[in-house]
Amino acid sequence: MSQQDWLDKDFYAVLGVSKDADPQEIKKAYRNQAKKYHPDRHPDDPKAEEKFKEIGEAYSVLNDAEQRQQYDAIRAMGSGGARFSAGQGGPGGAGFEDIFSAMFGGADGGRTSFGGGAGGGAQPDLDDLLKMFGGQAGGFGGGGRPTGFQPNPAQGQDISARTRISFRDAALGTEIRLTVDGRTVTARIPAGVHDGQKIRLRGKGRPGHGGAPAGDLLLTLDVDEHPVWSADGANLRLTVPVRFDEAVLGTTLSVPLLDGGTISMKVPAGTPSGRTLRVRGKGLVTKKATGDLLVTVQVAVPTHVEGKAKRAVEELRDALADEDPRAGLAAAAAS
Protein backbone atom coordinates (compact mmCIF):
# COMPACT_ATOMS: atom_id res chain seq x y z
CA MET A 1 0.00 0.00 0.00
CA SER A 2 1.50 3.36 -1.08
CA GLN A 3 1.54 6.59 0.90
CA GLN A 4 -0.98 8.00 -1.56
CA ASP A 5 -3.38 5.19 -0.61
CA TRP A 6 -3.10 6.33 2.99
CA LEU A 7 -3.89 9.89 1.91
CA ASP A 8 -6.87 8.89 -0.21
CA LYS A 9 -8.56 6.37 2.08
CA ASP A 10 -10.34 7.13 5.35
CA PHE A 11 -9.83 3.91 7.28
CA TYR A 12 -11.82 5.23 10.24
CA ALA A 13 -14.85 5.73 8.02
CA VAL A 14 -14.41 2.25 6.53
CA LEU A 15 -14.67 0.69 10.00
CA GLY A 16 -17.26 3.21 11.18
CA VAL A 17 -15.30 4.49 14.19
CA SER A 18 -14.10 7.89 15.33
CA LYS A 19 -10.49 8.99 14.99
CA ASP A 20 -9.97 8.74 18.74
CA ALA A 21 -11.36 5.19 18.99
CA ASP A 22 -9.38 2.91 21.29
CA PRO A 23 -8.00 -0.48 20.11
CA GLN A 24 -10.94 -2.41 21.56
CA GLU A 25 -13.45 -0.26 19.68
CA ILE A 26 -11.48 -0.76 16.47
CA LYS A 27 -11.32 -4.52 16.95
CA LYS A 28 -15.04 -4.75 17.72
CA ALA A 29 -15.94 -2.63 14.69
CA TYR A 30 -13.69 -4.74 12.47
CA ARG A 31 -15.31 -7.98 13.61
CA ASN A 32 -18.81 -6.62 13.05
CA GLN A 33 -17.99 -5.25 9.60
CA ALA A 34 -16.04 -8.34 8.52
CA LYS A 35 -18.92 -10.57 9.61
CA LYS A 36 -21.43 -8.37 7.78
CA TYR A 37 -19.54 -8.38 4.47
CA HIS A 38 -17.90 -11.83 4.66
CA PRO A 39 -17.84 -13.56 1.24
CA ASP A 40 -19.55 -16.62 2.73
CA ARG A 41 -22.60 -14.42 3.35
CA HIS A 42 -22.43 -12.76 -0.07
CA PRO A 43 -21.35 -15.38 -2.62
CA ASP A 44 -20.72 -14.02 -6.11
CA ASP A 45 -21.13 -10.43 -4.93
CA PRO A 46 -18.07 -8.43 -6.09
CA LYS A 47 -19.15 -5.30 -4.19
CA ALA A 48 -19.30 -7.20 -0.88
CA GLU A 49 -15.96 -8.84 -1.65
CA GLU A 50 -14.36 -5.46 -2.34
CA LYS A 51 -15.87 -4.03 0.84
CA PHE A 52 -14.50 -7.00 2.79
CA LYS A 53 -11.03 -6.30 1.40
CA GLU A 54 -11.27 -2.61 2.35
CA ILE A 55 -12.27 -3.57 5.89
CA GLY A 56 -9.27 -5.88 6.21
CA GLU A 57 -6.96 -3.22 4.78
CA ALA A 58 -8.24 -0.60 7.23
CA TYR A 59 -7.92 -2.91 10.21
CA SER A 60 -4.36 -3.97 9.29
CA VAL A 61 -3.30 -0.32 9.62
CA LEU A 62 -5.43 0.89 12.54
CA ASN A 63 -4.76 -2.23 14.61
CA ASP A 64 -1.01 -1.60 14.51
CA ALA A 65 -0.09 1.26 16.87
CA GLU A 66 2.96 2.32 14.87
CA GLN A 67 1.22 2.21 11.50
CA ARG A 68 -1.79 4.02 12.93
CA GLN A 69 0.48 6.84 14.18
CA GLN A 70 2.06 7.12 10.74
CA TYR A 71 -1.34 7.05 9.03
CA ASP A 72 -2.78 9.77 11.28
CA ALA A 73 0.26 12.00 10.71
CA ILE A 74 0.19 11.53 6.95
CA ARG A 75 -3.54 12.32 6.80
CA ALA A 76 -3.03 15.39 8.95
CA MET A 77 -0.15 16.61 6.78
CA GLY A 78 -1.89 15.94 3.49
CA SER A 79 -5.36 17.09 4.55
CA GLY A 80 -6.69 13.99 2.87
CA GLY A 81 -5.67 14.96 -0.65
CA ALA A 82 -2.11 16.21 -1.00
CA ARG A 83 0.51 14.25 -2.90
CA PHE A 84 4.11 14.27 -1.76
CA SER A 85 6.77 15.29 -4.24
CA ALA A 86 10.42 16.25 -4.17
CA GLY A 87 10.04 19.75 -5.54
CA GLN A 88 7.80 22.77 -5.34
CA GLY A 89 4.41 22.27 -6.95
CA GLY A 90 4.45 20.34 -10.17
CA PRO A 91 2.55 17.10 -10.84
CA GLY A 92 1.38 15.42 -7.71
CA GLY A 93 0.51 18.56 -5.73
CA ALA A 94 2.26 20.15 -2.78
CA GLY A 95 5.85 19.36 -1.79
CA PHE A 96 7.10 18.57 1.71
CA GLU A 97 8.02 22.19 2.42
CA ASP A 98 4.50 23.38 1.61
CA ILE A 99 2.95 20.87 4.00
CA PHE A 100 5.48 21.48 6.77
CA SER A 101 5.03 25.22 6.32
CA ALA A 102 1.30 24.86 6.79
CA MET A 103 1.85 22.77 9.89
CA PHE A 104 4.67 24.68 11.58
CA GLY A 105 4.26 28.26 10.25
CA GLY A 106 7.83 28.61 8.97
CA ALA A 107 9.42 31.88 7.86
CA ASP A 108 10.69 32.96 4.47
CA GLY A 109 7.37 33.87 2.88
CA GLY A 110 5.37 31.16 4.57
CA ARG A 111 7.95 28.44 3.91
CA THR A 112 9.61 26.37 6.58
CA SER A 113 13.38 26.46 6.41
CA PHE A 114 15.07 23.11 7.04
CA GLY A 115 18.61 24.46 7.20
CA GLY A 116 20.24 26.84 9.69
CA GLY A 117 20.04 30.59 9.44
CA ALA A 118 17.53 33.28 10.06
CA GLY A 119 13.95 32.44 10.53
CA GLY A 120 11.21 32.98 13.05
CA GLY A 121 11.44 30.52 15.94
CA ALA A 122 12.84 27.02 16.19
CA GLN A 123 12.49 24.80 13.15
CA PRO A 124 11.23 21.21 13.19
CA ASP A 125 13.80 18.42 13.22
CA LEU A 126 13.38 16.75 9.84
CA ASP A 127 15.23 13.69 11.05
CA ASP A 128 12.57 13.14 13.69
CA LEU A 129 9.75 13.75 11.24
CA LEU A 130 11.06 11.24 8.75
CA LYS A 131 11.80 8.65 11.39
CA MET A 132 8.22 8.95 12.59
CA PHE A 133 7.13 7.69 9.17
CA GLY A 134 9.76 5.01 8.89
CA GLY A 135 11.92 7.00 6.49
CA GLN A 136 15.47 8.27 6.85
CA ALA A 137 17.23 11.61 6.69
CA GLY A 138 19.56 10.75 3.82
CA GLY A 139 19.17 11.81 0.21
CA PHE A 140 18.87 15.59 0.49
CA GLY A 141 19.71 17.94 -2.33
CA GLY A 142 20.68 21.63 -2.26
CA GLY A 143 18.74 23.85 0.08
CA GLY A 144 18.07 21.02 2.53
CA ARG A 145 15.03 19.60 0.75
CA PRO A 146 14.10 15.91 1.16
CA THR A 147 14.22 13.89 -2.02
CA GLY A 148 11.58 11.35 -1.06
CA PHE A 149 9.46 9.76 1.60
CA GLN A 150 8.52 6.13 2.29
CA PRO A 151 6.20 4.99 5.08
CA ASN A 152 6.62 1.60 6.68
CA PRO A 153 5.19 -1.14 4.45
CA ALA A 154 1.80 -2.50 5.47
CA GLN A 155 1.26 -6.06 6.59
CA GLY A 156 -0.41 -8.41 4.13
CA GLN A 157 -4.17 -8.80 4.23
CA ASP A 158 -5.92 -11.48 6.27
CA ILE A 159 -7.94 -13.94 4.19
CA SER A 160 -10.61 -16.54 4.97
CA ALA A 161 -11.04 -20.13 3.82
CA ARG A 162 -13.06 -23.22 4.72
CA THR A 163 -12.15 -26.90 4.74
CA ARG A 164 -13.66 -30.24 5.79
CA ILE A 165 -11.89 -32.82 7.95
CA SER A 166 -12.82 -36.15 9.53
CA PHE A 167 -13.90 -36.48 13.13
CA ARG A 168 -10.79 -38.46 13.98
CA ASP A 169 -8.48 -35.81 12.49
CA ALA A 170 -10.35 -33.10 14.41
CA ALA A 171 -10.07 -35.05 17.66
CA LEU A 172 -6.43 -36.14 17.37
CA GLY A 173 -5.03 -33.24 15.30
CA THR A 174 -3.58 -33.44 11.82
CA GLU A 175 -1.73 -31.58 9.10
CA ILE A 176 -3.61 -30.61 5.95
CA ARG A 177 -2.81 -29.00 2.62
CA LEU A 178 -5.28 -26.69 0.90
CA THR A 179 -5.25 -24.21 -1.96
CA VAL A 180 -5.87 -20.57 -1.04
CA ASP A 181 -5.56 -17.66 -3.51
CA GLY A 182 -3.86 -20.01 -5.96
CA ARG A 183 -1.23 -21.00 -3.37
CA THR A 184 -0.82 -24.35 -1.63
CA VAL A 185 -0.89 -23.81 2.13
CA THR A 186 0.16 -26.36 4.74
CA ALA A 187 -1.73 -25.99 8.01
CA ARG A 188 -1.44 -27.78 11.34
CA ILE A 189 -4.85 -28.50 12.90
CA PRO A 190 -4.61 -28.80 16.70
CA ALA A 191 -6.25 -31.67 18.56
CA GLY A 192 -9.75 -31.11 19.88
CA VAL A 193 -11.21 -28.73 17.30
CA HIS A 194 -14.96 -28.85 16.74
CA ASP A 195 -17.38 -28.33 13.87
CA GLY A 196 -17.63 -24.69 12.83
CA GLN A 197 -14.52 -23.64 14.76
CA LYS A 198 -12.33 -20.91 13.29
CA ILE A 199 -8.57 -21.05 13.73
CA ARG A 200 -6.06 -18.34 12.89
CA LEU A 201 -2.95 -19.42 11.01
CA ARG A 202 -0.32 -16.73 11.42
CA GLY A 203 1.51 -15.64 8.28
CA LYS A 204 -0.60 -17.84 5.95
CA GLY A 205 -2.57 -14.92 4.46
CA ARG A 206 -1.67 -12.63 1.59
CA PRO A 207 1.98 -11.59 1.34
CA GLY A 208 2.92 -8.15 2.61
CA HIS A 209 4.29 -5.38 0.39
CA GLY A 210 7.85 -4.21 0.47
CA GLY A 211 9.06 -6.96 2.76
CA ALA A 212 6.25 -6.58 5.30
CA PRO A 213 4.99 -9.77 7.00
CA ALA A 214 2.14 -11.73 5.45
CA GLY A 215 -1.37 -11.56 6.83
CA ASP A 216 -3.18 -14.40 8.58
CA LEU A 217 -5.45 -17.15 7.28
CA LEU A 218 -8.77 -17.47 9.13
CA LEU A 219 -9.75 -21.10 8.54
CA THR A 220 -13.27 -22.40 9.29
CA LEU A 221 -13.46 -26.15 9.95
CA ASP A 222 -16.34 -28.41 8.95
CA VAL A 223 -16.01 -31.67 10.91
CA ASP A 224 -17.70 -34.84 9.66
CA GLU A 225 -19.89 -36.80 12.06
CA HIS A 226 -18.67 -40.22 13.26
CA PRO A 227 -20.97 -43.26 13.54
CA VAL A 228 -19.69 -44.06 17.07
CA TRP A 229 -17.86 -41.11 18.57
CA SER A 230 -18.98 -37.58 19.38
CA ALA A 231 -17.24 -34.73 21.19
CA ASP A 232 -18.52 -32.78 24.18
CA GLY A 233 -15.87 -30.12 24.73
CA ALA A 234 -12.75 -32.11 25.64
CA ASN A 235 -14.84 -35.17 26.56
CA LEU A 236 -15.51 -38.07 24.20
CA ARG A 237 -18.90 -39.76 24.09
CA LEU A 238 -20.02 -43.13 22.81
CA THR A 239 -22.96 -45.46 23.40
CA VAL A 240 -22.37 -49.13 24.33
CA PRO A 241 -25.18 -51.69 24.06
CA VAL A 242 -25.55 -54.30 26.86
CA ARG A 243 -27.83 -57.31 27.34
CA PHE A 244 -30.70 -57.15 29.79
CA ASP A 245 -29.04 -59.64 32.12
CA GLU A 246 -25.77 -57.63 32.04
CA ALA A 247 -27.61 -54.50 33.11
CA VAL A 248 -29.48 -56.35 35.87
CA LEU A 249 -26.66 -58.48 37.24
CA GLY A 250 -23.72 -56.23 36.35
CA THR A 251 -20.78 -56.97 34.07
CA THR A 252 -17.38 -55.80 32.86
CA LEU A 253 -17.18 -54.44 29.31
CA SER A 254 -14.29 -53.97 26.89
CA VAL A 255 -14.76 -50.45 25.57
CA PRO A 256 -12.89 -49.13 22.48
CA LEU A 257 -10.70 -46.03 22.66
CA LEU A 258 -10.26 -43.43 19.93
CA ASP A 259 -6.57 -44.25 19.53
CA GLY A 260 -7.36 -47.88 18.68
CA GLY A 261 -6.90 -49.47 22.10
CA THR A 262 -9.49 -50.73 24.57
CA ILE A 263 -10.22 -50.31 28.26
CA SER A 264 -12.15 -52.48 30.75
CA MET A 265 -15.15 -50.78 32.34
CA LYS A 266 -17.35 -52.13 35.12
CA VAL A 267 -21.11 -51.84 34.74
CA PRO A 268 -22.72 -52.01 38.22
CA ALA A 269 -25.68 -54.33 38.82
CA GLY A 270 -29.01 -52.62 38.23
CA THR A 271 -27.69 -50.09 35.74
CA PRO A 272 -30.66 -48.60 33.82
CA SER A 273 -30.63 -48.00 30.10
CA GLY A 274 -29.39 -44.49 29.30
CA ARG A 275 -27.07 -44.12 32.31
CA THR A 276 -23.68 -42.55 31.49
CA LEU A 277 -20.53 -43.89 33.11
CA ARG A 278 -17.33 -41.84 33.23
CA VAL A 279 -13.78 -43.03 32.58
CA ARG A 280 -11.45 -40.22 33.63
CA GLY A 281 -8.58 -39.08 31.42
CA LYS A 282 -9.58 -41.06 28.34
CA GLY A 283 -11.11 -38.22 26.35
CA LEU A 284 -9.49 -35.68 24.04
CA VAL A 285 -6.00 -34.47 24.86
CA THR A 286 -5.60 -30.77 23.98
CA LYS A 287 -3.18 -28.04 25.00
CA LYS A 288 -5.71 -26.73 27.52
CA ALA A 289 -7.17 -29.91 29.02
CA THR A 290 -7.53 -33.68 28.98
CA GLY A 291 -11.13 -34.81 28.82
CA ASP A 292 -12.95 -37.93 30.03
CA LEU A 293 -14.60 -40.82 28.23
CA LEU A 294 -18.39 -40.74 28.73
CA VAL A 295 -19.97 -44.14 28.05
CA THR A 296 -23.76 -44.31 27.80
CA VAL A 297 -25.20 -47.75 28.53
CA GLN A 298 -28.07 -48.82 26.28
CA VAL A 299 -29.97 -52.00 27.09
CA ALA A 300 -30.47 -54.04 23.93
CA VAL A 301 -33.95 -55.62 23.78
CA PRO A 302 -34.11 -58.80 21.68
CA THR A 303 -36.74 -58.66 18.94
CA HIS A 304 -37.45 -62.41 19.05
CA VAL A 305 -37.07 -65.01 21.80
CA GLU A 306 -38.01 -68.72 21.87
CA GLY A 307 -37.60 -71.80 24.01
CA LYS A 308 -35.66 -71.48 27.26
CA ALA A 309 -35.06 -67.78 26.78
CA LYS A 310 -38.77 -67.08 26.39
CA ARG A 311 -39.65 -69.20 29.42
CA ALA A 312 -37.00 -67.39 31.48
CA VAL A 313 -38.50 -64.03 30.55
CA GLU A 314 -41.99 -65.27 31.42
CA GLU A 315 -40.75 -66.50 34.80
CA LEU A 316 -39.15 -63.11 35.43
CA ARG A 317 -42.40 -61.40 34.52
CA ASP A 318 -44.31 -63.53 36.98
CA ALA A 319 -41.71 -62.92 39.68
CA LEU A 320 -41.94 -59.15 39.23
CA ALA A 321 -45.73 -59.00 38.89
CA ASP A 322 -46.09 -56.96 42.09
CA GLU A 323 -43.67 -54.29 40.94
CA ASP A 324 -45.04 -51.36 38.92
CA PRO A 325 -42.34 -49.16 37.37
CA ARG A 326 -45.04 -46.67 36.34
CA ALA A 327 -46.49 -46.18 39.79
CA GLY A 328 -47.18 -42.51 40.43
CA LEU A 329 -46.70 -41.51 36.78
CA ALA A 330 -50.34 -40.53 36.19
CA ALA A 331 -50.49 -38.47 39.37
CA ALA A 332 -47.22 -36.71 38.54
CA ALA A 333 -48.44 -35.99 35.00
CA ALA A 334 -51.66 -34.44 36.32
CA SER A 335 -49.98 -32.19 38.89
pLDDT of residue 152: 61
Q: What is the largest CA-CA distance in the chain?
A: 119
pTM of the model: 0.51
pLDDT tens digits for range 32-53? 988 888 877 888 888 888 888 8
- Which candidate, 108, 114, 177, places its Cα nearest to that of 140? 114
Span 197-218, mean pLDDT?
88
Give strand pairing partners of 223.
165
pLDDT tens digits for range 106-165? 444 444 444 444 444 444 444 454 445 444 444 444 444 444 445 566 788 899 999 999
pLDDT tier, 64 (very low <50, low <70, confident <90, very high otherwise): confident
Going by C-beta distance under 8 Å and a sequence separation of 6 or more, which residues neighbour residue 252?
A: 264, 265, 266, 267
Span 232-239, mean pLDDT?
94
What residue ranges define each of the domains in the chain, with the CATH number in brackets?
A: 3-108+126-144 (1.10.287.110), 159-223 (2.60.260.20), 230-319 (2.60.260.20)
Q: What is the mean pLDDT of the chain?
A: 80
Lowest-confidence pick of 9-18, 245-254, 261-270: 9-18
pLDDT of residue 69: 87
CA distance 294 to 283: 8
Lowest-confidence pick of 147-156, 190-199, 217-226, 298-307: 147-156
8 A C-beta contact, residue 163 and residue 224: no
DSSP codes, 195-249 = TT-EEEETT-SSPPSTTPPP--EEEEEEE---SS-EEETTEEEEEEEE-HHHHHH
DSSP codes, 66-118 = HHHHHHHHHHHHHTTT----SSSSSTTS--HHHHHHHHH--STTTPPP-SSSS
Span 52-69, mean pLDDT?
88
pLDDT of residue 114: 41
Span 273-302, mean pLDDT?
94
pLDDT tier, 294 (very low <50, low <70, confident <90, very high otherwise): very high
